[in-house]
Structure 1
Amino acid sequence: MIQIFNAFSLAFRNLFNFKILWILVWPLFVASILWLIIGEFFWIPSAEWLAEIIPFTIVKDWFDESDLLKITNSIGDVLNVIILVMLVIVTTMIITALFVMPSLIDFVAKRYYPLLDRKNGGSIIGSLFHVISAIIIFIALWSIALPFWFVGVGMLASFLAAAYLNQRLFSYDALSEHASKEELRILLRVDKLSLWGLGLLTGFVQFIPFLNLFAPTLTALAFIHFELARLENFRHKSNFNSSRK
């Protein structure tokens, strides 16, 4: 648990570095432009579709109680905004995983783990496999959860989906440059509970307004810190055990 919070706190501190701020901004900008363009064509149809599949009376009562109808003109608009924000965040995370991780890994490794050897056990195919599988399962979980969002259960399911996406999307890439193939296999197989714990913690940030804009880069940095620390400890233990033989 301490390692999880250490990784998260270091990642949060790194966000204020000028280089990291630029890395944070451009994936978010690209994802926002992409979904705003798509939303221009699908905004109304998606609202109508969602209104049909969600229990309308329950949703309407919930909105009346929270006075959210004063902010928006229709439930469909609110749902579209929620979906748009989540799509932007998830797309930013995917862009970060595919294109930004090497820069973030280099940033963290040089400052915190300069003596950690790079064994390049990961591969592009392995990275793509983790990204694609994470996206497919995340979309499936979100699709199931969406109709129940306004009755509480859906929000919990979406939170778990975000946790899964985080740990699946970033754990492999965080280790790929420094771990050997054998180290990758072992570290991704063990301590799953800690990976889920960090996934849940970073997933929680995705549901906090404004802070969720920082979530993709924060999540990537947190997993890099966490995984490189695990790798360093693993090698220390391995070397210690070898020296005792």
Structure 2
Amino acid sequence: MGLLLDSFWRAAAYCLRPRVMALSVLPLLLMVGLALGLGYFYWDGAVQGMRALLDASPLLASFWNWLQGWGLGDVTSVVAPLMVVLAVAPALVVVSLLVVAVLMTPALVALVADRRFPVLERKKGGSFIASVAWSVSSTVLALIALVVSVPLWLVPPLVLILPPLIWGWLTYRVMVFDALADHASKEERQEIFRRHRSSLLGIGILTGYLGAAPSIVWASGVVFAAAFFILVPLAIWIYTLVFAFSSLWFIHYCLAALERLRAEGGGRTPGDAFTPVAADAGALASTAVLPAPISPANGAPAP
């Protein structure tokens, strides 16, 4: 429990650092950059295509004519750009968040390691390919569990328990691997999974509930269309900040657990074999070649 609380407040404190705050703003900057670039090259064509699509439906055409009869003018000239934005915004958000997720975790691991664990040896127990394979396999298992558990969601209490439990399991599996990929060996990572499974799963579940907060803001942006362009970027920023906090919590916990594990083993990992030091080997060799003492009386070896 001490390690859990210690890593929690350290993660919260690190979220206030300028570097972490800058990383949390990065998806917004990426989204704006992508939007400006795509808008410069494709905006006119996209709006014209959307207007043609809206006018192609007889039902919608009659609806637009009905609105024009009420004096609203050319409604499609307003609706078409809005529909383009609504169609493209989710794709921009997903791409931006994926880029930040890939870049943020290594940056946060480096930040925590440099400031708090500068002498912790990096054993490179997890490669990039292994991390991708681990994440994909864990995601597939989580999706299977999610689909299988859907009928149980009809039971009121379980709908609030099963999805966070599944996503918490996925979160802890992926983030623990990424947090230990540089510093821990494969054996050390497996040992930390074994020793701290319940605590790490608890962190995953709690951060999963925290991740639901941006969804509320996102839904508010859809409901209150007038504030869409304010609430949705706010939801993206909150989501990124929650992601940063979750990563930092796992990183602080896992690296501290790794440090304790190595201290218990005297610096050796669970998979290391014992090798005598050079001095001990030399002492053994010198002992092996010592001649038997000679008796001064008759020159024969002493018994």
Percent sequence identity is: 29
**Could you say if the C-alpha distance between residues 177 and 203 of structure 1 is closer, same or farther in structure 2, counting changes exceeding 3 Å?**
same
For 1:17, the equivalent position in structure 2 comes to 17
CA contact (8 A) 1:121 1:176 kept: yes
Larger Rg: 2
**Could you say if the C-alpha distance between residues 154 and 219 of structure 1 is closer, same or farther in structure 2, counting changes exceeding 3 Å?**
same
Q: Aligned partners of 1:227, 1:24: CA distance in 2, in Å?
A: 22
For 2:83, the equivalent position in structure 1 comes to none
Alignment equivalent of 1:120, drawn from 103, 119, 124: 124
The alpha carbon displacement at 1:5 in A equals: 1.9
Match of 1:219, as an amino acid? S
More contact order relative to length (CA 8 Å, sep ≥ 6):
1
Match of 1:101, as an amino acid? T
The alpha carbon displacement at 1:31 in A equals: 8.2
Alignment deviations for residues 176-195 of structure 1 (CA, whole Å, 9 cap, x no partner): 11112322232233321121
Q: Aligned partners of 2:154, 2:247: CA distance in 1, in Å?
A: 27
Q: Aligned partners of 2:139, 2:193: CA distance in 1, in Å?
A: 18
Alignment of 1:191-206 (within 5 A): 191-206=196-211
- The gaps in structure 2 that reach 5 residues or longer are 35-89, 215-234, 270-303
Q: Does 1:176 align with 2:203?
A: no
For 1:98, the equivalent position in structure 2 comes to 102
- The gaps in structure 1 that reach 5 residues or longer are 35-83
Alignment of 1:29-178 (within 5 A): 92=97, 95=99, 97-143=101-147, 148=153, 151-178=156-183
The alpha carbon displacement at 1:173 in A equals: 1.0
Q: Aligned partners of 1:32, 1:18: CA distance in 2, in Å?
A: 21
TM-score by length of 2: 0.54
CA contact (8 A) 2:179 2:250 kept: yes
**Structure 1 residue matching 2:266: 3-state secondary structure:** helix
RMSD of aligned alpha carbons? 3.6
Q: Which has the higher helix share?
A: 1
Q: Which moved more, 1:172-181 or 1:153-162?
A: 153-162
Q: Which moved more, 1:128-137 or 1:10-19?
A: 128-137
Q: Aligned partners of 2:252, 2:131: CA distance in 1, in Å?
A: 18
Q: Aligned partners of 1:156, 1:33: CA distance in 2, in Å?
A: 39
CA contact (8 A) 1:28 1:213 kept: no
* Matched length: 192
For 1:215, the equivalent position in structure 2 comes to 242
